[in-house]
Amino acid sequence: MVPRPVRLAALGVIAEGVVGVVVVVLMVGAGLPFSVWGFVALLALAVLVAGVALLLGRRGARGPTVVAQLLAIGCAFYAAVPSGRPDWGFPVLVFAVVVLAGLVSRPAREWAGG
């Protein structure tokens, strides 16, 4: 059985993937080239698939989702501080930290260990 913190984190990761797909649709609508939106689409779909796999209890999906959260934290910090967009950066930062906390909690570690 997948522990509650992992299920909640998986839902957060799935939400990130869905937001990524929405961003891709907006990029296509804005007329950006395939080389830009194609890369973002690949990342968004990978995050979405990893979140679904985690929700289904696939222990191997925990590693990629942890990496995705660490990358999101770095991007959110960059958006909030050096880029001067705290209105974008801090909510993403908080969300990624909460999801990461669920992925590295004691029940999640025990579950991942088998």
Tell me the residue range of the domain where 87 lies: 4-112
Indicate whether 30 pLDDT > 90.
yes
State the DSSP code for 76.
H
- For 6, the token pair is 């992992």
* CA atoms 74, 12, 104, 111: torsion sign: negative
Q: How far apart are the first and last CA of the chain?
A: 11
pLDDT at residue 18 in the model: 98
What value does the mean pLDDT of the chain take? 97
Count, residues in the chain:
114
For 34, the token pair is 């395939």
Question: Is the pLDDT assigned to residue 114 strictly greater than 90?
Answer: no
Q: Are 35 and 55 in contact (CB under 8 A)?
A: no
Domain count, the chain: 1
Predicted model pTM: 0.94
pLDDT tens readout for residues 56-90: 999 999 999 999 999 999 999 999 999 999 999 99
